[in-house]
Amino acid sequence: MTEPLAAVTAAVEDPAVVVFGLRGPGGRLLAAARLRLDGAVAHLGRLVVAPDLQGQGLGGALLAAAEDVAPPAVREVRLFTGARSEANLRLYRRHGYVDAPAGTEPVALDGVVFTHLVKAIGPRLCDDSAAGGSAGPPAPRASGADPTRGWKEP
């Protein structure tokens, strides 16, 4: 799937979208993704890994980073992928994603059939909203992602 430059620019400038990725030596972009925030739901999309680096764990690192960069109020991450994209489906399911309830999302676009997946994420360490306090900005968690920069060095 391709995306026009104007759409990419609009997404990057949208305050409800968090763009994050992994950079390597010399600043090379190795992998990237976007989260579109909608209250307690974060929609994960445009997850990409450099072709020469696929199969080396970067996709899984991005999935972990998605949870790290999501604000504490987010309780669910949703995504979709091609229904025939077996490698993608294995990756997502290995990281705790399950089939979304039927009828909650469109199932096809331009003749491509999609599978929609969802993962519940619980309160994170920096989330004190359950205690009645203000969570404030998200703090880096186990993967080392820096949500203030949106990028993680591998």
pLDDT > 90 fraction of the chain, expressed in percent and rounded: 53
Question: What pLDDT band is residue 137 in, cutting at 50, 70 and 90?
Answer: very low
Concatenated DSSP letters of 31-82: EEEEEEEETTEEEEEEEEE-GGGTTSSHHHHHHHHHHHHS-TT--EEEEEEE
32-90 per-position pLDDT tens digit: 999 999 999 999 988 999 999 999 999 999 999 999 999 999 999 999 988 888 999 99
Domains along the chain? 5-126 (3.40.630.30)
Higher pLDDT, 42 or 140: 42
69-78 per-position pLDDT tens digit: 999 999 999 9
113 CB-contact burial (10 Å; exposed 0-12 / middle 13-18 / buried 19+): exposed
